[in-house]
Structure 1
């Protein structure tokens, strides 16, 4: 039994344990995002994302701004 909510990633649907109330222990903290990267992702998705999708979207953002 987990003490945190199991949710689905808004992007890929993978389930993971959301630790929003223990943010420093949540899987999403493994991906370091700048303010601009966070804003880019929040414009695309409303809910939580898994670390894999966060990393992929970070790379997508970096390649997008690098192409301009």
Structure 2
């Protein structure tokens, strides 16, 4: 069943999962709930150009810290 939304439904660039993008209302967007440091944001933006779902943001954030500990 499709639900009507006033926001765009997009696909996560990493997992291809669908989620509601609220880019026009960023503080209410789900991705704003994943706190990222400047370094984490830069790490993610070096790998992906588009939006990512919360689950992928959390996974990549964890990957960054693993990578950082091995560097």
Cα deviation code 1:17-50 (max 9, x no counterpart): 0000111111101110000100000010000000
Matched, 1:41 2:40: no
After superposing on structure 2, the runs of 4+ consecutive aligned residues of structure 1 that deviate more than 4 Å are none
Two-structure CA RMSD over aligned residues (Å): 0.6
TM-score, reference length from structure 2: 0.93
Gaps of 5+ in 1: none
Greater Rg over alpha carbons, structure: 2
TM-score, normalised via structure 1 length: 0.96
Q: 2 CA distance for matches of 1:67 and 1:52?
A: 23
